Amino acid sequence: MTTIIEPTPELPPRRKRPLLARIIRFPIKLVLLAIVGFFMALRRHPRISGGVVALLIVAGGALYYFTPAMEPVAAVTTTSTSAGLSSVQGLVPSPQTPVEFFKAQQAGDANTMWGLLSDSFKQGQTIQQLQTELEQVKPKMGVIKHISYVGGAKEDDGTGVYLYLLTLDQGGQTDQVTYLFTLDAQGKILKIE
């Protein structure tokens, strides 16, 4: 009996993967092999592997403990005034002009308010007109309970825009009102919105 050996068919040559695919697959393959090798070693040599794991935990704890804490992006502070009013300050410090304006408005002091206004804001108005407007608005305004400085920005020419939130007590009812102050380079009020 003769045995007939059939020739094996020739396989087509193996096609190489593109270079980008090889570059991407190689690090992934190494990471997976390292993970598999770690768990195989853990299974075969539990004492040594346990020591390595403990060493990694200690190193991570030391890194966490000795690394300095990150500083907060925006430090927020609260300041109080003698009248019991307080303001919260953010990155751009709160100018004193708006706070003084609110105090003078609460006290009905048109002279102080007039001194805080810029010449362009005063145009077409007198201090007597301001006093009359203040006397008309004061009963409706309520009592200022809290002045919150939300934030502000300064421009290159020295002018700045500052946002405030006032908490008012209007006969037992609390209300909040926003004010947007535009100040010139000398800190005088150009506009109130």
Alpha-carbon gap, residue 141 to 74, rounded angstroms = 32
What local confidence, expressed as pLDDT, does residue 116 receive?
85
| Co-location of 42 and 98 in the same domain | no
Find the helix or strand (DSSP H, E) in which 192 lies: strand 189-192
| Co-location of 90 and 38 in the same domain | no
Last residue of a domain, one of 8, 42, 66: 66
| Co-location of 100 and 152 in the same domain | yes
pTM score, whole prediction: 0.52
Task: Average the pLDDT over 59-80 and give the result.
Answer: 69
What local confidence, expressed as pLDDT, does residue 119 receive?
84
How high does pLDDT run on average in the chain? 80
Is 12 among the domain residues? no
Question: pLDDT per residue over 77-113, tens digit each?
Answer: 555 555 555 544 446 777 888 888 888 888 888 888 8
What local confidence, expressed as pLDDT, does residue 83 receive?
52
> Do residues 94 and 87 touch, judged by C-beta distance below 8 A?
yes
Which tokens in the block code for residue 165? 């939130």
What local confidence, expressed as pLDDT, does residue 88 receive?
47
Task: Average the pLDDT over 148-173 and give the result.
Answer: 84
> Do residues 171 and 179 touch, judged by C-beta distance below 8 A?
no
| Co-location of 103 and 182 in the same domain | yes
What local confidence, expressed as pLDDT, does residue 30 receive?
94
| Co-location of 51 and 85 in the same domain | no
> pLDDT over 90 for what percent of the chain?
8
Q: Which of 1-5, 67-71, 144-148 reaches the highest mean pLDDT?
A: 144-148
Is 137 among the domain residues? yes
Is 4 among the domain residues? no
| Co-location of 60 and 88 in the same domain | no
Question: pLDDT per residue over 24-40, tens digit each?
Answer: 889 999 999 998 987 88
pLDDT at residue 70 tops 70: no
| Co-location of 47 and 88 in the same domain | no
Pairing status of strand 86-89 against strand 143-154: unpaired
DSSP for the chain?
A: --PPPPPPPPPPPPPPPPHHHHHHHHHHHHHHHHHHHHHHHHHH-HHHHHHHHHHHHHHHHHHHHHSPPPPPSS--EEEE-TTS-EEEE-SSPPPHHHHHHHHHHHHT-HHHHHHHB-HHHHTT--HHHHHHHHHHHHHHH-EEEEEEEEEEEE-TTS-EEEEEEEEEEETTEEEEEEEEEEE-TTS-EEEE-
| Co-location of 108 and 134 in the same domain | yes
**Helix (H/G/I), strand (E/B), else coil: 133:** helix
Range of the domain at 140: 77-192
| Co-location of 58 and 105 in the same domain | no
Last residue of a domain, one of 27, 45, 66: 66
Is 9 among the domain residues? no
For 110, other C-beta atoms within 10 Å of its C-beta total 19
Last residue of a domain, one of 28, 47, 66: 66
Residue with the two structure tokens 């304006």: 101
Domain count, the chain: 2
